[in-house]
Structure 1
Amino acid sequence: MAETMNIQATYGAGQSFNIATGTGHTVTLDGGHHSGASPMELLLASLAGCSGISIISILQKKQEDVTHYEIHVQGVRAAVHPLVFVEITAEHIITGHHVRPQSVERAIELAETRYCGVSIMLGKATQLKHIYRINEAE
């Protein structure tokens, strides 16, 4: 059965909205006064979180010894309205012991094509690129 998700956005002040999720979490969005993250920043954060959750889960199932994982996401926006992302790059920086590149490549591929709904949706709307770097842990 399909899952329905809900949020509630309540106007704060200026251009800010307080967001309450159906799971009980809150976040403040702001449209320019820096009282919270911008909606576009949270879109990039959603990509990082969604793809990261999928990728680390796959790497754990492959028994890769990952000790640290960071995702840096950069979005390039259009110069004119609507200011959509025209290009997004997600850089996955994985540190661990003898992490196999082919495992990372496969995990990214599966996240992009099967498991991360955010990545799949954004990939239909913009140029989306995932790159990675593996660092050997000390």
Structure 2
Amino acid sequence: MNVTTVWHGGRAFESTGPSGYPVGMDATPAYGGLGKGATPMELLLAGLAGCIGIDITMILDSFLHQIEGIRIEADGTRREEMPKGFTDIDLIFHVDGEIPDYRVWRAIQMGKEKYCAVSDSLSANINYRLILNGTEIAKPATA
């Protein structure tokens, strides 16, 4: 896979990969940017959530008619010193619908252990939580 990133002045860049969709990035004003694009660290969390989200919808494909919505929150904790990489990331899956919790947990586990290339590429500790129909569901011992 090849992604080309082009500078647009200041701290602004635009990346385009094989999909052809451009992604604009900029630093926050604290780092000399104008805040006119997502930061690379925001995009990293978005990429992680999108990757495992795609994986769980593929794993649960035959049950998607039972799911009304999926929302994934990614909350990252960064080091205080440079480089300020993520040390811990919490992925919180908000799922609404009539689907058994064990099926969702199994899909999350499979995404984590077998399919999500983004999580596999990160050194941060990634924690997973499930909120099904507004209620937090503990991770089963086998997941």
Same fold per TM (> 0.5)?
Answer: yes
**In the alignment, structure 1 residue 81 sits paired with structure 2 residue 82:** yes
- Deviation, structure 1 residue 62: 4.6
Structure 2: 5+ residue stretches without partners: 29-33, 135-143
Measured against aligned partners, the alpha-carbon deviations of 1:15-53 in whole angstroms (never above 9, x if no partner) come to 010111122110101122211000000000000100000
Q: What amino acid sits opposite 1:70 in the alignment? A: R
Name segments (4+ residues, structure 1) moved above 4 Å.
none
Q: Given the alignment of the two structures, is residue 121 of structure 1 paired with residue 117 of structure 2, yes or no? A: no
Q: Which residue of 1 aligns with 2:42?
A: 41
Gaps of 5+ in 1: none
- Tell me how many residue pairs correspond in the alignment: 129
Partner of 1:132: 130
Kindly, what percent of the aligned residue pairs are identical? 33
- Normalized per residue, the structure richer in strand is 1
| Map of 2:70 onto structure 1 | 69
Amino acid of the structure 2 residue aligned with 1:126: A
The two structures, once aligned, show a CA RMSD in angstroms of 1.4
The equivalent residue for 1:102 is 102
In the alignment, residue 105 of structure 2 is paired with which amino acid?
E
One-letter identity of the residue aligned with 2:13: F
Is the Cα contact below 8 Å between 2:26 and 2:37 reproduced in 1? Answer: yes
